[in-house]
Each structure stands twice: as C-alpha cells, then as structure tokens.
Amino acid sequence: MLPDLSVTPVTRSRLADVDFDNLGFGNVFSDHMFSMTYEQGRWQQPEVSPYGPVPVDPGNATLHYGRPSSRVSRPSWVMTARCASSGRT
C-alpha cells in the first residue's frame, strides 16, 4: 500500500443497486475513485475518495484539437483505440 494513501469511504455503497445481468459500458461506476497529483516532477498525495466530479482545467490539451468544435473527442478514433487496446477487432 502507498504510505501516504488517504482513503475517504462513501456513506452509502451503490453496489446493491447494480444489475450484474445487464452491465453496460459507461453505465456502472465504482463507489470510489483514485487520484494523485503530479508536482515538482513527482507523484504525490495519493487519494481514494467517493465517486464525484473531476475538475478539469479549460486549457487541458485533450479538450483542444486546433479547430472550433464542441466535441471533446473523436468517437470513431476513441472506439478504434479502445478496441485495439482490449485485444478486440
């Protein structure tokens, strides 16, 4: 375990609400999420916290493709990359 790991448990788990016979991609999420900051050339402050919003800087390069668009990603490219990384064709 990470020596500086901070864990904040949820007050109510959503596990009982999960329909394991009908799982879908992007429909069921963990009760918790892991985050860690990168500062001064090192990973620091590991934390497990309840699932929730993730703040994103508007200048984040993943939001920009050098052309005006309201899309965050290119769906066809994302699907191709996900399939390739999972060993599916």
Mean pLDDT for back-to-back runs of 10 residues, the chain (89 residues): 86 93 89 92 93 88 64 66 71
Number of C-beta neighbours around residue 45 at 10 A: 13
Q: Considering its fold, how many domains does the chain have in total?
A: 1
- Structure token pair of residue 3: 């020596």
DSSP string spanning the chain? --TT-EE---SS--GGG--TTS--TTT---SEEEEEEEETTEEEEEEEEES------TT-GGG--SS--S-SS-HHHHHHHHHHHHT--
Structural domain contains residue 11: yes
Structural domain contains residue 1: no
Domain encompassing residue 26: 6-86
- pLDDT score recorded for residue 15: 92
Structural domain contains residue 55: yes
Structural domain contains residue 82: yes
pTM summary value: 0.57
- pLDDT score recorded for residue 18: 93
Structural domain contains residue 72: yes
